[in-house]
Structure 1
Amino acid sequence: MSAVVAWALLRLIGLITNVIFYQRVDTKLVAPGGGHDHWYIILLAPIIGGLVIGYMARYGSEKIRGHGMPEAIEAILLGGSKIEPRVAVLKPISSAIAIGTGGPFGAEGPIIMTGGAIGSLFAQLLRLTADERKTLLVAGSAAGMAATFNTPFAAVMLAVELLLFEWRPRSYVPVAAAVCVATVVRHPLLGSGVLFPVHGTLHLTPLAELLCVVTGIVAGLLAIVATILVYAAEDGFRRLPVHWMWWPAIGGIVIGIGGLIVPQALGVGYNIIGEELDGSITINLAIGILIVKTLIWSLSLGSGTSGGILAPMFMIGGALGVLEAQIFPQVGTGFWALVALAAVLGGVMRSPFTGVIFALELTGRFDAILPMIIGASTAFAISALLLKRSVLTEKIARRGYHLTREYDVDPLEIYFVGEVMSRDILSYEGDLSAEDALAEISGTDPDKVETRRQMLYPVVQGVDTLVGVVTRTQLETAVHEHRSTRAVKELCLTAPIVTHADQTLRETANAMAANEIDKMPVVDRHDPTRLVGLVSLTMLLEGRVRDVREASESERMLHLRVARPGWTNRHERR
Structure 2
Amino acid sequence: MADSNPIPTPSRRFEVVFRLMNHLATRWATPGSGRVGVCSPLVGVVSGLGAVAFLLLLEAVVHGVLGEWMGLRPPPTGEGTPHPISYPNTWWLVLLIPALGGLISGLMVFTWAPEAEGHGTDALIRAFHRGGGQIRGRVPLIKGLSSIITIGSGGSAGSEGPIAQVGAGFGSFLARLLKLTPDERRLLMLAGAAGGIGAIFRAPLGGALFACEVLYLTAAMESAALLPCLASAIVAYSTFALFITPRPIFIVPNLEFHGLLELPLFALLGLACAGVGWLYVRVFYGMRDHLFRPLPLPRHVKPAIGGLLLGIMALAFPQLMTGGYGWVQWGAIGMPPSLVLPDQPVFDPGMGVMLLLSLALLKTVATGLTISSGGSGGVFGPSIFIGGMLGGALGQLLDAALPTWDLNPAAFALVGMGGFFAGVSKAPLASIVLVCEMSGSYSLLVPLMLVCGLNVGLSRRWTIYEEQVASPVDSPAHQGDFVVDVLERLRVDQVRVRTEGLEIVPEATPFSQVVRRVAGSTETLFPVVDDEGLLTGIFSLRDVRLALLGTGNLGALVVADDIARPPMTVTPEDDLHTALKRMTELNVDELPVVPADGPNRLLGLLGRKDLVRAYTAQIEALRSPTEPAAA
- Same fold flag (TM > 0.5): yes
Report SS of the residue matched to 2:156: coil
After TM superposition, the structure 1 stretch with the greater mean CA deviation from structure 2, 316-325 or 476-485, is 476-485
The answer for the alignment partner of 2:492 in structure 1 is: 417
After TM superposition, the structure 1 stretch with the greater mean CA deviation from structure 2, 75-84 or 248-257, is 75-84
Cα RMSD for the two superposed structures: 3.9
Report SS of the residue matched to 1:173: helix
Report SS of the residue matched to 2:323: coil
Q: CA distance change for structure 1 residues 548 and 248 in 2, over 3 Å: closer, same or farther?
A: closer
**Correspondence list, 1:22-171, <5 A:** 22-23=67-68, 34-35=86-87, 37-163=89-215, 170-171=224-225
1:273 to 328, 333, 336: 328
Q: Is the 8 A contact 2:158 2:323 kept in 1?
A: yes
Q: Is the 8 A contact 1:164 1:171 kept in 2?
A: no
Q: Is the 8 A contact 2:249 2:439 kept in 1?
A: yes
**Correspondence list, 1:399-410, <5 A:** 404-406=469-471
The answer for the alignment partner of 1:567 in structure 2 is: none
Q: Distance in 1 between matches of 2:299 and 2:316?
A: 27
Q: CA distance change for structure 1 residues 514 and 12 in 2, over 3 Å: closer, same or farther?
A: farther
The answer for the alignment partner of 2:229 in structure 1 is: 175
After TM superposition, the structure 1 stretch with the greater mean CA deviation from structure 2, 152-161 or 473-482, is 473-482
Q: Is the 8 A contact 1:33 1:266 kept in 2?
A: no
Q: Which consecutive unaligned segments of at least 5 residues does structure 1 have?
A: 397-402, 445-451, 556-574
The answer for the alignment partner of 2:298 in structure 1 is: 243
**Correspondence list, 1:293-372, <5 A:** 293-328=363-398, 329=402, 330-332=406-408, 334-372=410-448
Q: What amino acid is the match of 1:277?
A: I
Q: Distance in 1 between matches of 2:385 and 2:99?
A: 23
Q: What amino acid is the match of 1:536?
A: G
Q: Is the 8 A contact 1:49 1:249 kept in 2?
A: yes
Q: CA distance change for structure 1 residues 146 and 38 in 2, over 3 Å: closer, same or farther?
A: same
After TM superposition, the structure 1 stretch with the greater mean CA deviation from structure 2, 109-118 or 245-254, is 109-118
Shift of 1:181: 2.0
Report SS of the residue matched to 2:450: helix
Q: Distance in 2 between matches of 1:354 and 1:504?
A: 38
Report SS of the residue matched to 1:366: coil
The answer for the alignment partner of 2:464 in structure 1 is: 391
Shift of 1:525: 9.0
The question of 1:538 aligning with 2:594 is answered no
The answer for the alignment partner of 1:382 in structure 2 is: 458
Q: Is the 8 A contact 2:395 2:409 kept in 1?
A: no
Report SS of the residue matched to 2:119: coil
**Correspondence list, 1:528-567, <5 A:** 534-540=605-611, 541-545=613-617, 548=620, 551=624
Shift of 1:478: 4.7
Q: CA distance change for structure 1 residues 169 and 428 in 2, over 3 Å: closer, same or farther?
A: farther
The question of 1:471 aligning with 2:525 is answered no
Q: CA distance change for structure 1 residues 324 and 164 in 2, over 3 Å: closer, same or farther?
A: closer
Shift of 1:302: 1.2
Q: Is the 8 A contact 1:434 1:479 kept in 2?
A: no
The answer for the alignment partner of 2:274 in structure 1 is: 220
**Correspondence list, 1:426-505, <5 A:** 432-437=509-514, 455-457=524-526, 469-475=538-544, 478=547, 486-488=558-560, 490-492=562-564, 504-505=575-576
Q: Distance in 1 between matches of 2:263 and 2:471?
A: 28
Alignment deviations for residues 223-258 of structure 1 (CA, whole Å, 9 cap, x no partner): 111111111211211221211110000011122122
Report SS of the residue matched to 1:327: helix
The answer for the alignment partner of 2:75 in structure 1 is: none
Q: Distance in 1 between matches of 2:174 and 2:599?
A: 43
Q: Distance in 2 between matches of 1:285 and 1:86?
A: 42
The answer for the alignment partner of 2:28 in structure 1 is: none
The answer for the alignment partner of 1:287 in structure 2 is: 357
After TM superposition, the structure 1 stretch with the greater mean CA deviation from structure 2, 145-154 or 175-184, is 175-184
Report SS of the residue matched to 1:163: coil
Q: Distance in 1 between matches of 2:581 and 2:429?
A: 32
The answer for the alignment partner of 2:42 in structure 1 is: none
Q: Is the 8 A contact 2:572 2:593 kept in 1?
A: yes
Q: Distance in 2 between matches of 1:16 and 1:63?
A: 24
Q: CA distance change for structure 1 residues 316 and 238 in 2, over 3 Å: closer, same or farther?
A: same
Report SS of the residue matched to 2:539: strand
Shift of 1:504: 4.3
Shift of 1:372: 1.6
Q: CA distance change for structure 1 residues 177 and 250 in 2, over 3 Å: closer, same or farther?
A: same
Report SS of the residue matched to 1:470: strand
Scaled by the length of structure 2, the TM-score of the pair is 0.74
Q: Is the 8 A contact 2:527 2:535 kept in 1?
A: yes
The answer for the alignment partner of 1:561 in structure 2 is: none
Q: Distance in 2 between matches of 1:358 and 1:516?
A: 53
Q: Distance in 2 between matches of 1:365 and 1:218?
A: 23
Q: Distance in 2 between matches of 1:462 and 1:513?
A: 30
Alignment deviations for residues 474-514 of structure 1 (CA, whole Å, 9 cap, x no partner): 43675699876644555456696x76755544575578689
Q: Distance in 1 between matches of 2:181 and 2:111?
A: 31
Q: Distance in 1 between matches of 2:295 and 2:538?
A: 64
Q: Distance in 2 between matches of 1:350 and 1:406?
A: 12
The answer for the alignment partner of 1:263 in structure 2 is: 318
The question of 1:12 aligning with 2:57 is answered yes
Q: What amino acid is the match of 2:410?
A: G
Report SS of the residue matched to 1:299: helix
Report SS of the residue matched to 1:147: helix
Q: Is the 8 A contact 2:162 2:377 kept in 1?
A: yes
Q: Distance in 2 between matches of 1:462 and 1:32?
A: 101
Q: Is the 8 A contact 1:421 1:533 kept in 2?
A: no
Q: What amino acid is the match of 2:539?
A: V
Q: Is the 8 A contact 1:32 1:100 kept in 2?
A: no
Shift of 1:294: 2.0
Q: CA distance change for structure 1 residues 215 and 517 in 2, over 3 Å: closer, same or farther?
A: farther
Q: Distance in 1 between matches of 2:597 and 2:372?
A: 61
Shift of 1:544: 3.8
Q: Which consecutive unaligned segments of at least 5 residues does structure 2 have?
A: 1-45, 70-78, 336-346, 474-481
Q: Distance in 1 between matches of 2:607 and 2:135?
A: 39
Q: Distance in 1 between matches of 2:115 and 2:360?
A: 30
The answer for the alignment partner of 1:571 in structure 2 is: none
Q: Distance in 1 between matches of 2:288 and 2:236?
A: 35
Identity %: 26
Report SS of the residue matched to 1:286: helix
Shift of 1:429: 5.9
Shift of 1:342: 1.7
Q: Distance in 1 between matches of 2:424 and 2:187?
A: 25
